[in-house]
Amino acid sequence: MSHGQLESEADDKVRCDACPVTCYIRPGMAGACDRYANRDGKLVRVDPHVLLERTVERGGAVVPFSRNAAEWSGAVLPEDSVFVTAIGAGTTYPDYKPAPFIVSSEVAGVDMVTVVTEGIFSYCGVKVKVDTDRFLGPEQATVRAEGEAVGHVTTGEYGSQMLSLGGVHHLTGGSKKEGRVTCEALLQLSNSRPVELTVDGGVTIVMEAGASPIIDGVREERMRVGCGSATIGMFAKQWLGHVDEVIVVDDHITGVLSEHQAGKVLDIPPTGVKMKGRRSTPGRYFQVAEPGTGWGGTNVSDPLSILGPFNPKEARPGLTMLMVSTTGEHYGFYRLDEALRPVEAELPESLRLSVERIQENCEPALCTVLFMGGAGGSLRAGVTENPVRLTRSVKDALTRVTCGGAPAYVWPGGGITFMVDVTRLPANSFGYVPTPALVAPIEFTMRLSDYAALGGHMDHVRPLSALTDGDARHMRQIDGNPWPVEPPPQRRKA
Amino acid sequence: MNGTARAEVRMLPDGRRLHLQDGPIDLVVEATGTPAAVVGAYRAAAARFRFVLDELCAELAELRAPAGSKPRRFRGAAARRMEAAVAPHAGDAFITPMAAVAGAVADDILAAMRHAAADGLTRISVNNGGDIALWLAPGEATTVGLVSRPDRPALFARARLAAEDGIGGIATSGAPGRSFSLGVADAVTILASCAAEADAAATVVANAVDLPGDARVERRPARSLQPDSDLGDRLVTRGVAPLDAGSVALALDRGLAAARPLIARGAIAAAALHLQGVTRVASRDRRLMALEAPQTGIILREPLDA
């Protein structure tokens, strides 16, 4: 590619001579090709290609397009400190370019190559972990955006509800609107932007990668510290001598101090408390209420509703009881009256501390979004003439897979199905095509010798130093991401 | 600058289609037939393509000037096709050869391919950003889906074309597209004997689908957007607010009134006009263009494996 000289005029029009049409372009407008535009009087590529740098300060500036070699040479970085990402590398749907960049560089004395392409993924989706005990909806329930099915509630994980969204069936197997809405929801979530979803038979939730979920209009602040039983175990000693009974309300397991093994060890006497729900083991109760958005992920708003009458043989007037949810968000302190009925009283200071400690031990509740996609035949063919060799090379850990420079986990088994935490990619790394399908960056990095061995397109390998035509955006590598270009281990001897 | 070095020529990953790109020209070329004929046709397309943009740019200033009743002499083959395609409209309204540039380039490449491999090909299509030059060998037929907006792939009509129909060009013009329109149509698609003629007619008919003076239409002088636009200070459509059914019908009627004489005098074969969900069709033969029933159009639905 060769680019022409800029001419700025008094009114900030620029003359582009990337091609002989030499469009005059007004500020904020693009030329006839839609590839070059005038931004504040400077000619820029519309979709800048992202190069990561590990030496430049955070917030590295957009590097404007310029052919002025003298001006540009100052920005050329040592080879081992620049990584060419696939973000903006190019895909012109439906005629995307296979492996538009195959870049060699020398790192720690080893010749490395990175094959860079934007993949078009219709086999893709996101897995969302929502840190909450609140009931979002029944397992297998349909999750909707704009009324269209875009995924479902899947099996819950520790302290979290899990949603599986997207996938080829919602993207291309349903109505056109379903596909479009699914694609839009995946794109927003992958680019760390908020999306509002509804769960059939459940809640309305606003999710955003790296932010706390908003469930039925209420922002979820923190994860539970553990289930009710675990909470009893953690805090039993701190309650000893300050209260006669503690009930930790939880949707999964509600704990009862006096009956729990932890209470037994501390010689806490029985209190005559009677729990609703199904007893699992001593002091541990399942299903004290229905799931919901009240206390501890149950539908409880009055905690006394999960108690039966106290047993007069063990209970006594004046007996004290703390009821608290597994996040410490809800709590109440009670004293039994003459009729052995619990009456709410002010929480004593000593117990306030334990409630605050439960709160303190609850981590911030986040939505975390993993993009998952499968690199198929044509993408792999852009890397090598014999695609299965790329798969094997990835499985053998000779080839590293990154997604916009972020580490990707490659699922074992066939194909190259990978997952990546979307918050570890630069902003707006994902795009879409109207198929509908998502466009995601993917880079394969390996030793040059390994690339040759797997049948790589050696005649397309260009040195990194040749990539200085300037139509790129330099960014600092995201904090915490490993540097993608480090030589992997030597090829195993056969 | 040397066109040979600037133009990008490559096979698409499907191994069937050829992609040619140079400046604002972006072509997807597909030929079917014997392998030798296809290779020969692609070689010819690439060889011709390397000179097209430079030739056009050499005469760009004159190509941006309005056509008159007396056709001008241009040196470049594509430029001559442009002038020939717009000349029949010059008496009725303002038009410059640029109205036919996309179709003319497609025709030019198609002609080079046919010249190189006359026998052995069954079909050629040259798609220049939606303006398509098409050739079918005798006995061949094809179906083309018409899409109102490239970013929302939904068919609104379907053209069924056989070799004997003599349709060599399909072109679309409208307000949302890359080039400017004086009218409000979302898409006007024309079938004609070549792509340049279809392109010129699509521009003329799309300009006629209009609601002059309507406050719901946002217009700006072309040169305030593109300083070197061939449209000068004419007002081009930048946005159309939702319209009532009566206004949609009125605008479409105006477009049809421009399209029907073109069909009657044989300049085009059919026109499909699309505005805010409503489609109207005029055709010399009902069989050529069929409206797509809602919900049945499926395009690009196959899982696209990355």
Is the model's pLDDT at B303 over the cut of 90?
Answer: no
CA distance A125 to A182: 9
Other beta carbons within 10 angstroms of residue A419's beta carbon come to: 15
Contacts with B53 from chain A: Cβ below 8 Å: 19-21
- What tokens were used for A32? 């006839």
Per DSSP, the three-state class of A63 is coil
Residues forming beta bridges with residue A162, ordered by sequence position: A129, A154
Q: Which of A19, A36, A403 to mutate to test the interface with B (most CBs of B within 10 A)?
A: A19
Residue numbers of B between 178 and 207 with CB closer than 8 Å to A: 178
A422-454 confidence digits (pLDDT tens): 999 988 889 887 778 888 888 899 988 899 888
Q: Are B167 and B161 in contact (CB under 8 A)?
A: yes
Q: Which helix (H) or strand (E) holds B58?
A: helix B35-58
Contacts with A32 from chain B: Cβ below 8 Å: 23-24, 178, 226
Mind giving me the DSSP string for A343-389?
EEEPPPHHHHHHHHHHHHTSPBP-EEEEEEEEE-HHHHHTTBSSHHH
Q: Say which of B178, B227, B303 has its CB closest to residue A24.
A: B227
Mean pLDDT of chain A, nearest integer: 82
Is the model's pLDDT at B147 over the cut of 90?
Answer: no
Long-range contacts of A347-355 (CB under 8 A, 24+ apart): A347/A322, A348/A242, A348/A243, A350/A242, A351/A239, A351/A242, A351/A243, A351/A322, A353/A238, A354/A235, A354/A238, A354/A239, A354/A242, A354/A322, A355/A322, A355/A324, A355/A328, A355/A331
Q: Say which of A26, A33, A373 has its CB closest to residue B225.
A: A26
When pLDDT is averaged across residues A391-416 and rounded to a whole number, the result is 89
Q: What are the backbone angles phi and psi of residue A215, rounded to the nearest 5°?
A: -110, 120
Contacts with A94 from chain B: Cβ below 8 Å: 300, 304
Query: How many angstroms away from the CA of A33 is the closest CA of chain B?
Result: 4
Between B285 and A92, residue with greater pLDDT: B285
CA–centroid distance for B153 within its chain:
17
| Cα A434–Cα A439–Cα A443 angle in degrees, nearest 5 | 160
Q: Say which of A32, A378, A379 has its CB closest to residue B24.
A: A32
- For residue B149, the model assigns a pLDDT of 55
- For residue A70, the model assigns a pLDDT of 29
Q: With CB atoms and an 8 Å threshold, state whether B306 touches A123.
A: yes
Contacts with A96 from chain B: Cβ below 8 Å: 13
Question: Per mean pLDDT, which range of A32-41, A385-394, A440-449 is the poorest?
Answer: A32-41
- For residue A59, the model assigns a pLDDT of 30
Residue numbers of A between 32 and 71 with CB closer than 8 Å to B: 32-34
Contacts with A92 from chain B: Cβ below 8 Å: 26
Torsion of CA A132, A133, A137, A142, to 10 degrees: 40
- For residue A439, the model assigns a pLDDT of 85
- For residue A91, the model assigns a pLDDT of 45
| Cα B71–Cα B75–Cα B80 angle in degrees, nearest 5 | 45
- For residue A307, the model assigns a pLDDT of 95
Q: Are A287 and A326 in contact (CB under 8 A)?
A: no
pLDDT band at B271 (very low <50, low <70, confident <90, very high): very high
Contacts with B3 from chain A: Cβ below 8 Å: 20
| CA-wise closest residue to B230 among A21, A13, A6 | A21
Query: How many angstroms away from the CA of A28 is the closest CA of chain B?
Result: 9
Query: How many angstroms away from the CA of B152 is the closest CA of chain A?
Result: 6
- For residue A31, the model assigns a pLDDT of 81
Between B78 and B143, residue with greater pLDDT: B78
Q: Say which of B1, B22, B228 has its CB closest to residue A24.
A: B228
Question: CB-based contact (8 Å) between A14 and chain B?
Answer: no
Residues forming beta bridges with residue A49, ordered by sequence position: A472
Contacts with A14 from chain B: Cβ below 8 Å: none
pLDDT band at A60 (very low <50, low <70, confident <90, very high): very low
Q: Say which of B10, B28, B228 has its CB closest to residue A23.
A: B228
Q: Are B275 and B148 in contact (CB under 8 A)?
A: no
Between A238 and A291, residue with greater pLDDT: A238
A264-306 confidence digits (pLDDT tens): 999 999 999 999 989 989 999 999 998 888 898 888 999 999 9
Query: How many angstroms away from the CA of B261 is the closest CA of chain A?
Result: 32
| Cα A368–Cα A369–Cα A373 angle in degrees, nearest 5 | 155
Q: Say which of A123, A176, A381 has its CB closest to residue B13.
A: A381
Does the predicted TM-score (pTM) go above 0.95? no
**Pairing of β A367-375 and β A110-121:** unpaired
Q: With CB atoms and an 8 Å threshold, state whether A32 touches B57.
A: no
B22 → chain A, closest CA residue = A19
Instruction: Kindly give, in sequence order, each residue whose CB lies less than 8 Å from that of residue A475, ignoring residues fewer than 6 positions away.
Output: A50, A51, A52, A53, A60, A426
Contacts with B29 from chain A: Cβ below 8 Å: none
State which amino acid sits at residue A16: C
Is the model's pLDDT at A5 over the cut of 70?
Answer: no
CA distance A342 to A338: 10
- For residue A121, the model assigns a pLDDT of 87
Share of chain A above pLDDT 70, in %: 82
Between B20 and A465, residue with greater pLDDT: B20
**What ipTM was predicted for this assembly?**
0.76
Residue A426 DSSP one-character state: P
Question: CB-based contact (8 Å) between A92 and chain B?
Answer: yes
**Pairing of β A195-199 and β A472-476:** unpaired
Instruction: Kindly give, in sequence order, each residue whose CB lies less than 8 Å from that of residue B298, ignoring residues fewer than 6 positions away.
Output: A176, B155
B303 → chain A, closest CA residue = A122
* Integer angstrom CA distances of residue B193 from A257, B9, B136: 87, 27, 12
Between A376 and A202, residue with greater pLDDT: A202
| CA-wise closest residue to B283 among B296, B300, B266 | B266
Query: How many angstroms away from the CA of B106 is the closest CA of chain A?
Result: 16
- What tokens were used for A113? 């190559």
**Pairing of β A245-249 and β A320-325:** parallel
A22 → chain B, closest CA residue = B57
Q: Say which of B13, B26, B302 has its CB closest to residue A98.
A: B13
Q: With CB atoms and an 8 Å threshold, state whether A123 touches B17.
A: no
Residues forming beta bridges with residue A267, ordered by sequence position: none
Is the model's pLDDT at B224 over the cut of 80?
Answer: yes
CA distance A145 to A207: 12
Residue A236 DSSP one-character state: H
Domains belonging to chain A, first-starting first, are 79-123+376-476 (no CATH), 124-219 (2.40.30), 228-360 (no CATH)
Query: Domain map of chain B by residue range?
Result: 1-137, 140-293
Q: Quick check: bond before B303 cis, omega within 30?
A: no
Mind giving me the DSSP string for B235-261?
EEEEEE----HHHHHHHHHHHHHHHHH
Question: CB-based contact (8 Å) between B60 and chain A?
Answer: yes
